[in-house]
Structure 1
Amino acid sequence: MNRPPVQDADEPAKARKRGRRPSEVDPRVVGTHLVLLSILRDRYQRDGHTIDQLSGDCNFVRSKISELLRGYGGKYPRWEITRAVAAAMELPLAPMCRLWLAGAREACKKEEWIERNAGVGDDWRAPLPRALEGLRDLHGGTYRAYARVHLRPDVADGVVEQALTVVWARMDVVFSSASVAGHVWAVLRDLVMAWADPSTAHGVAATRTVSVRWGCDPLVPADLPGLPDLPDPRDAFVRLTEQTDLFRAMRELAPHHADVLILRYVLGRSAEKTADVLGTDPGMVGLWDRQAQEHLEHAPHLRTTLGGMTT
């Protein structure tokens, strides 16, 4: 994430100093709850907030605010205190409420419990800002296709919407960055990788890749004989094994190298479209492409080449 530059020592202060970093997040905090806390904690430190100041602004005791920012005990917070702290930090309430609602349902909170939180029924209703609507109209198809390489379609689509919501909550940071599209992509990629199961990620990505290339989702053995490009069912499993090896090798690549390969060779996006989505220029996409392929050519456990991704 982009952050404001640190001022020189002899430069007059124009803003509050960074706040003291809160204590570490409880390891039991996961999923959207962790995303929500990350936004609060980043704003807390970046804008120089203190627990004492927030306590005065929010009318909650210091211990409650500290517990919120740490996710103490892994317990899911009520919207009232989350809203109060977000408002004191001048974060937009609509995206924060949407994230809070998603986290509450992930935490298996009953609808009755959710509805008893004051303000929830109204705070989430604001529409997505036009700038983000435009970005979704322009790149939404590619965002969803990329997420579906790694995740089930229903999960992938939800992660794309969550990424746009996170960007909305951090609009001040995003629109002061050098590349808005690049910032949005970084948020999306982080969330996709966070939701992907590392123990099965290679096989899932390989299966999704075969499905994307051959127009079926998901790839099921019973369906294989009917695929025009697969006259022999064994061909699919050979390809699947090769693809799994390829994705395992790609794990060693830098994120932008792996993303270029997926966008260009799995999803079939042009260099220009890939550059637009990643927030860079086609020349840089070409460089990352060449560097990634050179790395894969030397991967000892790779059974196939990039041709396996495109044929």
Structure 2
Amino acid sequence: MIWPPDADQPLPPDTSTRRGRPPAPISATAGLSHRAWLVPIRGFVFASGLTFDQLAERSGYSKTRISDLLRGNGYYPAWQFTSSVVHAAGLPLEPMLRLWKAGAREAGRDRDWIESGIQQVALHFEPAPLPYRAFADTVRTPYTAYARAFLLTDHRAGWVVGESLDILWLSWQQASTSDNLPRYAWQLLRNRVMARAHHHDGHPDLRTAVFSTAEVHDHMPGHLVALTELTDLFDAIGRLSPDQMDIAVLRYLCAVPPDTTARLVGRSTAVTHATDHHLRATLEHLLPDTPQE
């Protein structure tokens, strides 16, 4: 079974406990960066059928500690412990290290604690699979453009794209065997962007993207009117359905060609064209007096 790339999967069965015991979800105290690596690891372990007994034997840590690790319970785990469990599960350490470091900073761990933990482990990174590298090279630029529309700065956009591609690498065994790899990867990116985007009235807030997307100058006639119209238009785009919003952002805010947009979101060209038609009709209905070119 292929799990969604950003779902809160249950834990694998613990053979030492009674049958029917419900799996525990990720702790509510785990932050966004902590969850970024917890979710794919839990998904992989569950899908693989590995038990706590097997992980304990391979890693050298107790089942209780492994259970707490996979649930995000307690203090943020040290790299020595985390890497042992990840290695025992057969997952790549290079993307995991970057994700773990981001989670450690989010949890308030200082630089000395992070670097000291890393130095205690002999790291032997294996190269990323060639298909993954080819895919990541292809999507990185348009992914960053999409993320920038919501996160506004190159630094924030690049960071979230890097995080998303590291999660994809960590999940590559599942992603590469899914029915639609581009769709799997796109949903992963989208979830990471939306988790960090500012929201307004329950919708992603694209209004501030006007200032980084539009060439509107103070000396131009009708400057305030044009700015207001664009702000209303971008706000309306943020209220579209997810598929419509994604295509609107890629096509009209990021200037991604139609065929490339279809490949990025994992939809056929015909479906993407139809979605584009419907979103334009929706915007024209919501904002009949606003130019949308």
* Alignment TM-score > 0.5, same fold: yes
Cα offset, 1:59, TM superposition: 1.4
Query: In the TM superposition, what are the counterparts of 1:32-111 in structure 2 within 5 Å?
Result: 32-73=33-74, 75-111=75-111
User: Are 1:260 and 2:247 matched, yes or no?
Assistant: yes
Partner of 2:7: none
Secondary structure at the counterpart of residue 72 of structure 1: coil
Structure 1 spans left out of the alignment, 5+ residues: 5-17, 215-222
Give matches, 1:189-208, under 5 Å: 189-199=190-200, 204-208=205-209
Note the C-alpha offset of 1:188. 0.8
Is the partner of 2:239 in helix, strand or coil? helix
Change in Cα spacing, 1:199 to 1:160, as seen in structure 2 (3 Å) is same
Q: Tell me how far apart the structure 2 counterparts of residues 212 and 120 of structure 1 sit (CA, whole Å).
A: 46
State how far apart, in whole Å, the 1-side matches of 2:207 and 2:252 are: 13
Aligned alpha-carbon RMSD (Å): 2.9
Q: Which residue of 2 aligns with 1:162?
A: 163
Letter in 2 for 1:162: E
d(CA) in 2 for partners of 1:61 and 1:289? 53
Percent of paired sites with the same residue: 30
SS of 1:41's partner is helix
When residues 132 and 44 of structure 1 are mapped into structure 2, their CA distance, relative to the original with a 3 A threshold, is: closer
Aligned to 1:115: 115
Q: Is the 8 A contact 1:207 1:240 kept in 2?
A: no
Contact 1:150 1:201 in 2 (8 A): no
Residue pair 2:175, 2:181 contacting (<8 A) in 1 also: yes
Q: Structure 2 vs 1, CA of residues 137 and 43 (structure 1 numbering), >3 Å: closer, same or farther?
A: closer
1:119 deviates by: 5.1
How far has the Cα of 1:244 moved from its partner?
4.6
User: What is the match of residue 28 of structure 2?
Assistant: 27
Change (3 A) 1:245 1:94: closer
Q: Structure 1-normalised TM-score?
A: 0.78
Match of 1:239 among 210, 224, 229: 229
Q: 1:9: which partner in 2?
A: none
Note the alpha carbon deviations across 1:64-107, whole angstroms, 9 max, x for none: 1111111114x311111211111111111111111101211222
Could you say which structure has the greater relative contact order, defined with CA pairs below 8 angstroms and 6 or more residues apart?
2
Change (3 A) 1:306 1:158: farther
Aligned residue pairs total 278
CA distance in 2, matches of 1:245, 1:237: 12
Unaligned runs of 5+ in 2: 5-10, 14-21
